[in-house]
A and B are shown apart, each in its own frame.
Chain A
Amino acid sequence: MKAATTSSEHITLERDLTSSGRFFTDLGTAITKGDLFVKLSILWWGAGYARRKQFFKAIAMTLLEAAVIWFTVAFAVQYVPKIGTLGTVQAEQVFNMETMKTEWNDYDDSFQILLFSVLSFVVWFAAVLVVLKNLVNVYQLQRREELGLHINTFKEDVSTYLNEKFHVTLLSLPVLGVVMFNVIPLFILILVAFTNYDQQHMPPTALFTWTGLTNFINLFGGGGLTLTFGYSFARVLVWTLVWAVFATFTTYFGGILLSLFLNNKRTKFAKLWRALFIVTIAVPQFVSLLLVRNFFADNGIFNGMLTSAATALGIIAEGTTLNFPWLTAPGWAHVMIIIINIWIGVPYQMLIATGVLTNLPVDQIESSRIDGASTSQTFRYITMPYVLFVTGPALVTDFVKNINNFNVIYLLTQDVYTTTNQALANSQATEVDLLVTWLFRLTQDYYNYKMASVIGIAVFIICAVFTLVAFNFMLSGDKEGVYN
């Protein structure tokens, strides 16, 4: 710190320095008012730092720049120029008798082009942000130098990442993970909806290319690729919503009721009961659901037990068997799926509700009791509003999760349920499919990635609209403020 600046002067200067809060304003200032080295920073990222003797930073930025350039030259140029066509060179092979190997030409792989181009764009987008941010930073350094303020040493810079910039340290790796395994796949998904990536156009053998909005037009009845696709979409969508509503609310209220029941003072061995219910969550879903599916199979043990019971009671004649289509007929299967979901979901919701109920405002309940309120009144006017208030947002997320509840439907119905609705069958759908299981089947069995992507986008829009509406409706005000 320079002796020339007194403490109060120092503070005023620091305040002058604080950025305007608007990135582009800062950027504009930096570009117009920056010195040569600041401007040079666009070309040589380390220039500004080197000028202010922040050599470590200068080296780091130079290396980073070199890395980006290397990435572009060695990697990105192979793919990005082909993004417009998604490749033109068809795969061709020649067998080499000498080596006993097949030799391939240098063919284009549309999916690789798409994937790596998206990756390159993400990297370049990041690089541009770095350059711009860098400009602002080095201009700040310039200003500090002009004003005679202290310029951080490398060590001080590092220590800021454990203090005021600690969030950067914390967030960088998780954000990177999300970008790699969530954001980039997502971009791909969205882009595939605008291509003809399907079984006839499967890389590496065939190329696929851009088709604009064709897939969307086909889905909503314009194109007529499959006559029944629109019909099937509507049917599946309705069941998806019905399922999500039932699945969410049955388990939610079931869980609350069960936990109230177990929490009651008059219930003995509550812990034991609770533990027994929890066992059903602890069995992995693919085990418990596949088991239940065999339990309720047409020729499964449940029908077998019913048959023996009915025979013993003389309801049915000896030798006849009861074959209730628990999971194989429309209607039956719909109800059973929701019931089985209750079986799976209620213990989980019970756990949550138990936790919430232990935090109940006891004084309120006591006072209401003194006022002569009955148990049901207490429940209705005090317990329930409290629980709803606390778990409301979770209810919304549960609903979205259920719209995308792949496991329950897939494990219970895949290979078991055969539709008798020809129109649905013609579009590879069934009455019990959710949008996600349908799109999963379209990709897994029919490689119809383009339509699956369109459905995926539709699912997203439905979820987004619902979430927005629900949150606006349920959350009056920002609860964060209560604590912060």
Chain B
Amino acid sequence: MKKKLSALLLAFAMLFTLAACSSGSNPGSAAPNDDDNPQQTQSGSQGGSGETIALRVWGAEEDQALLKDLVEKFKAAYPDQTFSIEIGVESESKAKDDILTDVTAAADVFAFACDQLPDLVAAGALLPIDDQMDAVLQNYANKTVADIKSANSEGSVGSATLDGKLYAFPFSADGYFMFYDPSVISADQAKSWDTLLDAAQAGGKKVGMTLASGWYLAGFYYGAGFTTGLNADGTTSMDWNGTSPSGVTGVQVTQAALKIAAHPAFMPVIDGDSSNQIKSGSLCAVVSGCWDSQVAAEAFGDDYMACRLPSFMAGDKEVPGGAVASYKLMGVNAHSKNSGWAMLLAEFLSNEESQVARYSARQLPPTNISAASDPAVAADKGVAGLADQSANASLQAAGGKYWDPVKSFGEQIAQGTIKSDDASVQAALDDLVAGVTAPLG
């Protein structure tokens, strides 16, 4: 029994260290930057507020070198202020996962894909770009929020806006469209799935597209006029099991997708595996995005083509091939210790100059209208393909419950496990909608 007594002596010693550490800093004020960060404590400061502003930026792996350059330029743009800016690695597609685990430990400024916006906003992770931020931008960067909104494409601003509030700065368009090999497929054949697949079969090649994904699959339905929506309580609304405003039923769209997937020349691609498949040489057309431009050029030849997704027949109506309009955004952590400066940095990393630099480094299409109209950018086939698709692309509003059920539904279409008679498809769609629209819990 005495064991306990002495164990506790020690336990207390440690618990007090804990207490000392915690009571020092109010949990609420625990900032994204560790206090023991050596760079932060050395305050060799002159000019500006006299304080070294410590910031941390998260960007994609491929963007690290670019970010380094841009951050240097940012420092040069504000010579009166001393900064200590760290650059961390966080893939844009997974930023949410790490941010939401502990918002207060996440970076001050981070890049993320726009589908994560609702979750990030709901968790209070994003600092809204409100009137005060407008004032900050006016004071320091000489531009207003209205300037930024008008400088970027409407869709990109829309993707960064929720309930009328702007939450992040768009810096790159991230949508998908179709690449094809003109030696196998003519421009006319690329206009509809039927002719496209037949031409591919005749050429002994395949057409690749990811179906098991809430992002790609939605294109079929959005194109036919169906929608998804995000409710205030975080649940998702979905009408795919009904009839769209354009008079097409979800059953018909699903049957069309099933028919496409069952075509011998169709190849369902695993999400994220498209570049591998293009490289393998078995494809003559693929639904993908600008990130695959180079690979497509290598596989399909320099005269490769990029255009909007082909149309398909739903019942007796022709439905244009829709897509999800997606963007990459630069956001500011609501819990950032230096939120004002973080905002300025985020704006800087997404301004016209930075977008041009990003295009030259990685061929990612800018959202800035004047950057996009740059002749070199406009001539890029991938960018042109994305622009072509944008006529049929819609923003995607969906909550957290949307993704897994739709991914599974897409996989069922890809594998053909749904029977194509009306009743079975209707039942499958009803199940899907039930899952997507389920309350959170």
The reply to whether A and B meet directly (CB within 8 Å) is yes
Q: Collect the chain B residues with CB atoms within 8 Å of residue A447's CB.
A: 100, 123
C-alpha spacing A427/B404, complex, angstroms: 8
| CB 8 Å contact bits of B2-30 with A (1 = contact, 0 = none) | 11111111111011101100110011110
Q: Collect the chain B residues with CB atoms within 8 Å of residue A173's CB.
A: 10
| CB 8 Å contact bits of B332-346 with A (1 = contact, 0 = none) | 001111111100000
C-alpha spacing A133/B8, complex, angstroms: 12
Taking the nearest CB of chain A, how far is it from the CB of B331, in angstroms? 14
Question: Which of B400, B417, B434 is close to A227, meaning CB atoms less than 8 Å apart?
Answer: B434
| CB 8 Å contact bits of A169-188 with B (1 = contact, 0 = none) | 10111011001100000000
Whether A204 pairs with B439 at a CB distance below 8 angstroms is no
Whether A199 pairs with B400 at a CB distance below 8 angstroms is yes
Whether A101 pairs with B122 at a CB distance below 8 angstroms is no
Whether B435 pairs with A198 at a CB distance below 8 angstroms is no
| A218 in the interface (beta carbon within 8 A) | yes
Known: A95-B340, A420-B417, A422-B412. A133 touches B4 (CB 8 A): yes
Taking the nearest CB of chain A, how far is it from the CB of B277, in angstroms? 7
- Of all chain B residues, the one with the shortest Cβ separation from A108 is B28
Whether A204 pairs with B104 at a CB distance below 8 angstroms is yes
Q: Collect the chain A residues with CB atoms within 8 Å of residue B15's CB.
A: 71, 119, 123
Q: Collect the chain A residues with CB atoms within 8 Å of residue B1's CB.
A: 23, 133
- Of all chain B residues, the one with the shortest Cβ separation from A170 is B3
- Of all chain A residues, the one with the shortest Cβ separation from B133 is A95
| CB 8 Å contact bits of B277-288 with A (1 = contact, 0 = none) | 100101000000
Whether B103 pairs with A75 at a CB distance below 8 angstroms is no
| A64 in the interface (beta carbon within 8 A) | yes
Whether B4 pairs with A129 at a CB distance below 8 angstroms is yes
Whether B19 pairs with A171 at a CB distance below 8 angstroms is no
| A88 in the interface (beta carbon within 8 A) | no
Question: Which of A91, A100, A123 is close to B340, meaning CB atoms less than 8 Å apart?
Answer: A100
Q: Collect the chain B residues with CB atoms within 8 Å of residue A425's CB.
A: 404-405, 407-409, 435
C-alpha spacing A401/B23, complex, angstroms: 39
Taking the nearest CB of chain B, how far is it from the CB of A217, in angstroms? 12
Whether A200 pairs with B434 at a CB distance below 8 angstroms is no
- Of A23, A101, A427, chain B has the most CB atoms within 10 Å of the CB of A101
Question: Which of A60, A202, A445 is close to B97, meaning CB atoms less than 8 Å apart?
Answer: A445
| B115 in the interface (beta carbon within 8 A) | no
Taking the nearest CB of chain B, how far is it from the CB of A426, in angstroms? 3
Whether A119 pairs with B404 at a CB distance below 8 angstroms is no
Whether A199 pairs with B440 at a CB distance below 8 angstroms is yes
C-alpha spacing A107/B212, complex, angstroms: 42
| A242 in the interface (beta carbon within 8 A) | no
Question: Which of B2, B29, B101 is close to A104, meaning CB atoms less than 8 Å apart?
Answer: B29
C-alpha spacing A372/B334, complex, angstroms: 81
Q: Collect the chain B residues with CB atoms within 8 Å of residue A107's CB.
A: 28
Q: Which residues of B (80-108) have their CB < 8 Å from a CB of A?
A: 97, 100-101, 103-104
Q: Pick out which of these stretches binds chain B: A160-168, A255-263, A459-467.
A: A160-168
| A308 in the interface (beta carbon within 8 A) | no
Whether B341 pairs with A100 at a CB distance below 8 angstroms is yes
Whether A420 pairs with B415 at a CB distance below 8 angstroms is yes
- Of all chain A residues, the one with the shortest Cβ separation from B103 is A204
Q: Which residues of A (24-78) have their CB < 8 Å from a CB of B?
A: 60, 64, 67-68, 70-71, 74-75, 78
- Of all chain A residues, the one with the shortest Cβ separation from B430 is A422
Question: Which of B3, B23, B136, B276 is close to A299, meaning CB atoms less than 8 Å apart?
Answer: B276
Taking the nearest CB of chain B, how far is it from the CB of A305, in angstroms? 15
B contact face: mostly helix, strand, loop, or mixed = helix
Known: A67-B12, A93-B334, A97-B136. A423 touches B431 (CB 8 A): yes
Taking the nearest CB of chain B, how far is it from the CB of A77, in angstroms? 10
Q: Collect the chain B residues with CB atoms within 8 Å of residue A129's CB.
A: 4-5, 8
Q: Collect the chain A residues with CB atoms within 8 Å of residue B122's CB.
A: 199-200
Q: Collect the chain A residues with CB atoms within 8 Å of residue B334's CB.
A: 93, 102, 205
Q: Which residues of A (403-438) have their CB < 8 Å from a CB of B?
A: 415-416, 418-428
| B42 in the interface (beta carbon within 8 A) | no
Q: Collect the chain A residues with CB atoms within 8 Å of residue B361's CB.
A: none
Q: Collect the chain B residues with CB atoms within 8 Å of residue A395's CB.
A: none
Q: Collect the chain B residues with CB atoms within 8 Å of residue A93's CB.
A: 334
- Of all chain A residues, the one with the shortest Cβ separation from B429 is A422
Q: Collect the chain A residues with CB atoms within 8 Å of residue B4's CB.
A: 126, 129, 133
Q: Collect the chain B residues with CB atoms within 8 Å of residue A444's CB.
A: 97, 101
Q: Collect the chain B residues with CB atoms within 8 Å of residue A119's CB.
A: 15, 18
Q: Collect the chain A residues with CB atoms within 8 Å of residue B347's CB.
A: none
| A99 in the interface (beta carbon within 8 A) | yes
Q: Collect the chain B residues with CB atoms within 8 Å of residue A205's CB.
A: 103, 123-125, 334
Question: Which of B11, B234, B439 is close to A179, meaning CB atoms less than 8 Å apart?
Answer: B11
Whether A176 pairs with B14 at a CB distance below 8 angstroms is yes
Question: Which of B10, B19, B124, B438 is close to A426, meaning CB atoms less than 8 Å apart?
Answer: B438
Taking the nearest CB of chain A, how far is it from the CB of B5, in angstroms? 5
Whether A175 pairs with B7 at a CB distance below 8 angstroms is yes
Taking the nearest CB of chain B, how far is it from the CB of A329, in angstroms? 8
Q: Collect the chain A residues with CB atoms within 8 Å of residue B27's CB.
A: 109, 112, 204
Q: Collect the chain A residues with CB atoms within 8 Å of residue B411's CB.
A: 418-420
Q: Collect the chain A residues with CB atoms within 8 Å of residue B12's CB.
A: 64, 67-68, 71, 123, 126
Whether A299 pairs with B10 at a CB distance below 8 angstroms is no
Question: Which of A75, A99, A229 is close to B23, meaning CB atoms less than 8 Å apart?
Answer: A75
Whether A428 pairs with B11 at a CB distance below 8 angstroms is no
C-alpha spacing A165/B435, complex, angstroms: 60
| A278 in the interface (beta carbon within 8 A) | no
Whether B431 pairs with A426 at a CB distance below 8 angstroms is yes
Q: Collect the chain A residues with CB atoms within 8 Å of residue B18's CB.
A: 119
| CB 8 Å contact bits of B250-290 with A (1 = contact, 0 = none) | 00000000000000000000101100110010100000000
Whether A91 pairs with B28 at a CB distance below 8 angstroms is yes
Q: Collect the chain A residues with CB atoms within 8 Å of residue B276's CB.
A: 299
Q: Collect the chain B residues with CB atoms within 8 Å of residue A448's CB.
A: 441
Q: Collect the chain B residues with CB atoms within 8 Å of residue A102's CB.
A: 127, 334-336, 339
| B142 in the interface (beta carbon within 8 A) | no
| A348 in the interface (beta carbon within 8 A) | no
Q: Collect the chain A residues with CB atoms within 8 Å of residue B405's CB.
A: 422, 425-426
Known: A165-B2, A425-B405, A425-B407. A67 touches B16 (CB 8 A): yes
**Which residues of A are interface residues toward B (Cβ below 8 A)?**
23, 60, 64, 67-68, 70-71, 74-75, 78, 91, 93, 95, 97, 99-102, 104-107, 109, 112, 116, 119, 123, 126-127, 129-130, 133-134, 137, 161, 165, 167-169, 171-173, 175-176, 179-180, 198-200, 202, 204-206, 218, 225-229, 298-299, 319, 321, 415-416, 418-428, 444-448, 451
4 nearest A-B pairs in the assembled complex, by CB-CB distance:
A205-B124, A100-B340, A426-B435, A225-B441
Q: List 9 A-B contacts (CB under 8 A).
A: A133-B5, A168-B7, A175-B11, A199-B400, A204-B28, A226-B441, A422-B432, A423-B431, A426-B434
A sample of 4 more A-B contacts (CB under 8 A), given A75-B22, A161-B6, A422-B408, is A93-B334, A126-B8, A172-B7, A204-B104
